[in-house]
Amino acid sequence: MIDDALVADLTRSETSLRRFLLELPGVDQVGAEERARSLATRSIKAASKVWAIKTAISMVDLTTLEGADTPGKVASLCQKARRPDPGDDGVPPVAAVCVYPDLVGTAKRELAGSAVAVAAVATAFPSGRAAVEVKLADVASALDQGADEIDMVIDRAAFLAGRFGLVLDEIRAVREACGPVRLKVILETGELATYDNVRRASWLAMLGGADFIKTSTGKIVPAATLPVALVMLEAVRDFAVATGAEIGVKVAGGVRSTKDAIRYLVVVNETAGETWLDPAHFRFGASGLLNDLLMQHAKQRTGAYVGPDDFSLE
């Protein structure tokens, strides 16, 4: 389905790639932020809210990316991922658990027999400052332990220096290493700074073979924002028109409340379209968000608010 000829043509040389990226239509900052603000005023109530909360739960990549992560912490997170609300059979499992490569084995064991995927951040996450051989070894180690998804970071230094070909080559190398394993490419939009750069990096990642483009590592502020998600969703929409390929979007960092999550789903729905409203097309990289979704889901189901201590803290 993918229009390989088009991709090959755009990426045949550094010059053609550079020309293509720099000639993408610009993003007017005021207009993009205004559009995001306007979509954020959508009022999602009743049945449409319940649907949105459940869908959002199924889109969560439950994440722990700390130096202090232990097998015990990851194990408890995996239990949560399998069955976020043991008191409610209507609550789906999350999409994935996201950990550092050394904990992939633990997560795989804990999630055996479930539909929850194990995602590993790799390629010298979060800074990406290592030789390409080191990054590929990082990916290989995660894959060896059975990672189902790889979240790589792009080389922001190369991107900001205008060396787009270098960024592309690295993404392609990781893509090749991953084979059929789902590849998410983290743009770290907080370091790219402008929406024009976000759009260019989105196309670069998609041309390199990303299955998902992802906003942030969560280690840099600002992480995901609504206008950034809007620009990325416009990119995947346009990429689908040009090539037929449906690339997913993952927002990570800073999405903490149900209200925020629903706003993202509205932007997804009204930008890329309803095809993108499933875990194969959209993800939330988050930890605290899940409990808020569960609380709001219980509220919608029972009519009464429950407290934060009614759900487990991992």
Partner 1 sequence: MTWEYSSAPEGAQVALRESYGLFIDGNFVEPSDDATFATLNPANEQVLAEVATAGERDIDLAVAAARRAYEGAWGATRPADRAKYLYRIARLIQERARELAVLETLDNGKPIRESRDVDVPLAAAHFFYYAGWADKLAYAGFGPDPRPLGVAGQVIPWNFPLLMAAWKLAPALAAGNTCVLKPAETTPLTALRLAEIIQQAELPPGVVNVLTGAGATGAGLVAHPGVDKIAFTGSTEVGKAIQRATAGTGKHLTLELGGKAANIVFDDAPLDEAIEGIVNGIYFNQGEVCCAGSRLLVEESIADEVIAKLKTRLARLRLGDPLDKNTDIGAINSAAQLDKIRELASAGEAEGAERWSPPCTLPERGYWFPPTVFTGVAPAHRIAREEIFGPVLSVLTFRTPQEAVAKANNTTYGLSAGVWTEKGSRILWMAARLRAGVVWANTFNRFDPTSPFGGYRESGFGREGGRHGLGAYLDG
Task: Identify whether the C-beta of residue 28 lies closer than 8 Å to the C-beta of residue 198.
Answer: no
Task: Tell me whether residue 35 or residue 184 sits nearer to partner 1 (CB atom).
Answer: 35
Query: Which one, of 210, 75, 77, 78, lies nearest residue 151 by Cα?
Result: 210
Beta bridge partners of 250: 214, 283
- The one catalytic residue in 138, 151, 196, 260 is 151
- The one catalytic residue in 80, 135, 184, 214 is 214
Rule CB under 8 A: say whether 9 interacts with partner 1. no
| Residue choice 4, 9, 28, 88 for contact with partner 1 (CB under 8 A) | 28
- The one catalytic residue in 80, 135, 184, 250 is 250
Rule CB under 8 A: say whether 3 interacts with partner 1. no
Rule CB under 8 A: say whether 49 interacts with partner 1. yes
| Residue choice 234, 260, 292, 314 for contact with partner 1 (CB under 8 A) | 234
CA angle 48, 49, 50 (to 5 degrees): 95
CB of 65 to partner 1, least distance (A): 30
Beta bridge partners of 286: 62
Phi, psi of 70 (to 5 degrees): -120, 165
Rule CB under 8 A: say whether 303 interacts with partner 1. no
CB of 2 to partner 1, least distance (A): 21
Beta bridge partners of 173: none
Task: Tell me whether residue 155 or residue 234 sits nearer to partner 1 (CB atom).
Answer: 234
Query: Which one, of 306, 296, 309, lies nearest residue 54 by Cα?
Result: 296
Which of these segments, 42-50, 117-125, 139-147, 174-182, binds partner 1 (CB under 8 A)?
42-50
Which of these segments, 51-59, 110-118, 216-224, 288-296, binds partner 1 (CB under 8 A)?
51-59
Active site (annotated) includes residue 214: yes
200, two tokens:
């260019």
Positions of E strands within 111-215:
117-122, 149-153, 182-186, 212-214
CA distance 233 to 273: 9
Task: Identify whether the C-beta of residue 254 lies closer than 8 Å to the C-beta of residue 220.
Answer: no
Rule CB under 8 A: say whether 44 interacts with partner 1. yes
CA distance 213 to 228: 12
DSSP 274: G
Rule CB under 8 A: say whether 265 interacts with partner 1. yes
CB of 194 to partner 1, least distance (A): 12
30, two tokens:
């005021």
Rule CB under 8 A: say whether 90 interacts with partner 1. no
Task: Identify whether the C-beta of residue 219 lies closer than 8 Å to the C-beta of residue 182.
Answer: no
Rule CB under 8 A: say whether 260 interacts with partner 1. no
Place of tokens 């051989």: 133
| Residue choice 47, 112, 221, 304 for contact with partner 1 (CB under 8 A) | 47
What are the catalytic residues?
A: 151, 214, 250
Residues forming contacts to partner 1 in the complex (CB under 8 A) are 25-28, 30-32, 34-35, 41-49, 51-52, 55, 231, 234, 265, 269-270, 274, 277-278
